[in-house]
Amino acid sequence: MKIEDLQNLRVAIIGGGYGGVAAAVALDRIGVRNVAVYEQAPAFGQVGAGIGLRPETVERFRRWGIFDAIAAVSSPSDHLEILSADGNTVFAQEEWPNRHAFAQVNDTRIIHRGDFIDAFSKALPAGALHLDHRLTEIVDNGSTATLTFANGNVVEADVVIGADGIRSLVRSTFFSDKAPVFANEHAYRIVIDIEDAHGLVTDDNPRFYMGTNGVIAYNLPLRHRGQLSYDITAPSDDDTWAPEITNDYLVSLLDGFDERIVAIARELDVAQVTSRSVYDIDSVDNWHTDCIALLGDAAHAMLHHQGQGANSAIADGDALADAFREAGSVKEALALYVATRKPVTDELQRISRAGWNAEAVEDAFPGQR
């Protein structure tokens, strides 16, 4: 699209998570001056856990001029290890895919979710972020859309990007009313101080300890913060959104695991543990109308096994900006965006559902090299 058309385009992004803020920054960098991000939370806080930002994601940050801000609140990792529960067998120790694919080596960066959102929020144009805006209704008018929020605000936009997560109102209104799919798994996550990690943290590389009972203990160092993101996933038939847990229960899951991992579970303040049932969604046939499209988990929520949820959402934002720069109209841009991203995310959803077999981890990053 012509630069003057981009400058006059009114873009509303629903959701201020990874994908929403990344899309806003990417669009701003190509000249879209009227971008608004509507987030339902009244404030951003230091919630969530550690994530790995892949080398191709880091390269995008360089292009957007935000690398230094991200590097200041993250640590570089050159490889991932997958081990047996007791840590005595290394099933896989692999360098992150595409680490050397750029002019400058881009390590995967391990970052806390809260630090990521904070850094990107500061990179947004002044006044672009609107907190305490929960979407209650969206109407597609053909060439524009009308948004109504719980606080009474009504907004009209030329483009609406639904980055409103796995339980997306935008998706259920226009594209699929199928409910999220329970993975028969629970995830328990907490960030702890390194001095409470019993010596588990020796460098900046994540290590995943795999039990034969389907339990996995994920350890993502956040050494720049003096912390460790400590996660456990375990099979379960209980689809309660936020299951209640105890220290004894967590310890019972970790029979045969490295004693340091068990000791952490025994000592945790369980009131601080985020306990969630794990869900993804089935592939959605179509993500766009002539003026509305989905992005991130709203379009393709995937299981955590490949660590690609945040990276995929950020890649969506980049592809969206590319499509607007290349296409001749909003309608064409949204179609190009979905055609570019959907085959990639369909495959990532598939391999993320497959997970790993603790008895035979042949490739930590299937199909991603």
At 217-231, the pLDDT tens digits run 999 999 999 999 999
Answer whether 243's CB lies under 8 Å from 186's CB: yes
Higher per-residue pLDDT: 121 or 336: 336
Q: CA 298, CA 287: separation in Å to the nearest integer?
A: 9
| DSSP per-residue codes, 327-369 | SSSHHHHHHHHHHHHHHHHHHHHHHHHH---TT----SSTT--
Phi, psi at 213, each rounded to 5°:
-90, 10
CA distances from 218 to 189, 210, 222 (A): 9, 9, 13
Strand 145-149 relative to strand 154-157: parallel, antiparallel, unpaired? antiparallel
Give the pLDDT confidence score for residue 99 in this predicted structure.
79
Residue 20 has pLDDT above 80, yes or no: yes
Give the residue among 62, 104, 113, 54 at the shortest CA–CA distance from 79: 54
**Mean pLDDT in the chain?**
93
Confidence at residue 44, expressed as pLDDT on a 0 to 100 scale? 75
Please report which helix (H) or strand (E) contains residue 129, including its range: strand 129-130
pLDDT at residue 229, rounded to an integer:
95
Residue 359 confidence (pLDDT) = 62
The predicted-structure confidence for 300-321, as pLDDT tens digits, reads as follows 999 988 888 999 999 999 999 9
CA distance 155 to 161: 13
Q: Under DSSP, is residue 80 helix (H, G, I), strand (E, B) or coil?
A: strand
Report whether pLDDT(292) > 70.
yes
Percent of the chain with pLDDT over 70: 95
Give alpha helix (H) positions in 245-329. 247-253, 259-267, 297-300, 309-326
Kindly list the distances between the CA atom of residue 134 and the CA atoms of 39, 148, 161, 168, in Å, as whole numbers in the listed order. Answer: 7, 9, 14, 11
Neighbours of 121 (CB within 10 A): 18
Residues 253/234, Cβ–Cβ less than 8 Å: yes
pLDDT category of residue 369 using cuts at 50, 70 and 90: low
Q: How confident is the model at residue 192 (pLDDT cuts 50, 70, 90)?
A: very high
